[in-house]
Amino acid sequence: MTRKRNALFGLVLAALAAFAGPAAADTRTICTYDPAGKSGDYFKILEDLALQAESWGVTLEIKGYTDEETAAKDYEAGQCDGVVATGVRLQRFNRFPSTIEAIGALPTYRHLEQMIDALAKYEPKGLVSGEHETAGILPVGAVYLFVRDRNIDTVEELAGKRIATMDYDKAAPVMVDKVGAIMVPADLGSIGPKFNNGDVDACYVSAPAYKPFELERGLGSNGGVIRYPIAQATLQLLIRRDRFPEGFGSKARKFFADKFDEAIAIVKKAEAEIPERYWIDVGQSTEGFDDMFLNVRLELRDKHKAYDPAMLHTAAMIRCGIDPSRPECAEKKE
């Protein structure tokens, strides 16, 4: 009788297992920064990732943050298995991918696309640092200098001006010092108010921040946006490797690379929303900016160890591959 009962019990368990279907996917939390929160375009891309990840055996819970620092701190405290934040915010975890945002390293979206494609295709070891892995990179736009006085359109004219500066970015204070400007510590949460209230003469952000930060208030009738990229801002997905299945990072990087055109469309729409009257063309002044950018990169690579040499070299190869006539291509300093 006992044997029959055990056999029947086994059949019941087997039937329940079959009815239940495959085991539920593991749930992992991604703390995601988007200036517009859950309604933002970048948050929606992460929701698309969550849909795709189900087929990889992972259920992703996407938590929205409008404060980048809080998202990064929650990840550091172990409250998230992954975090989406700007490369500069994540540089303390791994300077290799954060160096994508190096000053002047990738002048156009074409340069940036080649870099993101290369990282997704070749997957260099630099994407992994200890327990952390960079599992995806999204473009969020060229970083432009917003000024309250549109007469400022050269490097020399920045001398003595107060610039809202990301105090957690090792590169920014060096750049500000190089041009003789005055650093005013800020972060993504305070840049808008400082610029709009006149506490600073200039700030630097990419176009998708223009509306959420209400920067038209600071630009007023006399301000402008210098139409020469300082750097390429990115949102990067950083994960704790041991919390995800083998190969998740590789699949996610390819997913984000395939989202490049969608993300750039968001950026270009935001750039088009900045009224044309605000844009300032620098003309022949670009050489001054390029020289300053190169000097800052070299100093941050050699003296401050803030930029990764391998990433700078890769960026230089991309620049010279697109335009071999650049003076730096013969000098080979990076």
- Per-residue pLDDT tens digits for 171-186: 888 889 888 999 999 9
50 domain-assigned: yes
Q: What percent of the chain has pLDDT over 70?
A: 92
* CA-to-CA separations, 270 to 157, 266, 296, 333, in angstroms, rounded: 27, 6, 28, 35
Quick check: 239 pLDDT over 50?
yes
3 domain-assigned: no
Question: Other CB atoms closer than 10 Å to residue 58's CB: what's the count?
Answer: 21
CATH classification of the domain holding 303: 3.40.190.170
Q: What is the pLDDT of residue 285?
A: 63
Give the angle 209-235-109 at the CA atoms, nearest 5°. Answer: 80
20 domain-assigned: no
Q: What is the pLDDT of residue 275?
A: 97
- Per-residue pLDDT tens digits for 188-222: 889 999 999 999 999 999 999 999 999 999 999 99
Over the chain, what is the mean pLDDT?
Answer: 90
Quick check: 257 pLDDT over 80?
yes
15 domain-assigned: no
37 domain-assigned: yes
- Per-residue pLDDT tens digits for 114-172: 999 999 999 999 999 999 999 999 999 999 999 999 998 888 899 999 999 988 888 88
User: What angle in degrees, to the nearest 10, is found between the helix axes of 41-54 and 248-258?
Assistant: 130
Q: What is the pLDDT of residue 223?
A: 97
The answer to whether the beta carbons of residues 25 and 59 sit under 8 Å apart is yes
258 domain-assigned: yes
* CA-to-CA separations, 220 to 146, 201, 211, 225, in angstroms, rounded: 11, 12, 14, 12
12 domain-assigned: no
Q: Could you give the dihedral angle defined by the CA atoms of residues 307, 309, 310 and 315, in that order, rounded to the nearest 10 degrees?
A: 70
Alpha helices in the chain (DSSP H): 2-20, 41-54, 68-76, 95-98, 109-122, 171-178, 191-196, 216-219, 248-258, 260-272, 286-302, 309-322, 328-331
Rg, the chain, Cα only: 23
Q: Terminus-to-terminus CA distance in the chain, angstroms? A: 81
Range of the domain at 137: 25-331
- Per-residue pLDDT tens digits for 295-330: 899 999 999 999 999 999 999 999 999 999 988 899
Distance CA 248, CA 229 (A): 33
Q: Would you state the structure tokens that stand for residue 264, as one six-digit string?
A: 């750039």
> Domain tally for the chain?
1
Residue recorded with tokens 């400022």: 152
Q: What is the pLDDT of residue 25?
A: 54
In sequence order, what are the residues at sequence separation of 6 or more whose Cβ sits closer than 8 angstroms to the Cβ of residue 32?
Answer: 42, 43, 46, 62, 63, 64, 65, 71, 83, 84
57 domain-assigned: yes
Q: What is the pLDDT of residue 23?
A: 38
